[in-house]
């Protein structure tokens, strides 16, 4: 085998599960909260797979932000509605993609331009 053929054999294409991912536009990549199950006020256990009739927001940790996101940074906690999110698999882990305009609140340790309300 020639050296040129050996070089091309050693360069294998990157598998789809190991590609780098860049979040585009005004999108935010959010980790799915681990506490998927919740309890009602009466103590009934509601599984994560159950459709919610109410519009209850969910807090999630920001993993990455797109270049046009202005008010959210990585590691911020964001409040969003589950219906506004798109579920995606990235390198074997499941995340949600949410538009910045669909984020209702941001909780962070920074205090730039804060309103005085701390969650």
Q: Is 57 contained in some domain?
A: yes
Q: Is 7 contained in some domain?
A: no
Residue 47 clears pLDDT 60, i.e. is over it? yes
Q: What percent of the chain has pLDDT over 90?
A: 29
Q: What is the pLDDT of residue 1?
A: 45
User: Using 50, 70 and 90 to split pLDDT, how confident is the model at 49?
Assistant: low
Q: Is 2 contained in some domain?
A: no
| C-alpha to C-alpha distance for 115 and 119, rounded to whole angstroms | 11
Range of the domain at 80: 21-34+43-119
Residue 10, Cα to own-chain centre: how many angstroms? 35
Question: CB–CB of 89/17 below 8 Å?
Answer: no
CATH for 108: 2.30.33.40
The domain tally of the chain equals: 1
């Amino acid at each position: 085998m020639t050296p040129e053929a050996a070089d091309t054999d050693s360069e294998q294409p990157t598998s789809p599960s190991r590609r780098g991912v860049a979040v585009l536009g005004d999108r935010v990549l959010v980790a799915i909260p681990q506490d998927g199950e919740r309890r009602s006020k009466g103590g009934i256990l509601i599984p994560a797979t159950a459709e919610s009739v109410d519009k209850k927001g969910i807090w999630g940790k920001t993993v990455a932000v797109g270049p046009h996101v202005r008010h959210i940074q990585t590691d911020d906690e964001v409040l969003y509605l589950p219906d506004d999110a798109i579920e995606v698999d990235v390198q074997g882990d499941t995340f949600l993609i949410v538009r910045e305009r669909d984020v209702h609140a941001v909780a962070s340790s920074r205090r730039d331009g804060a309103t005085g309300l701390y969650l």
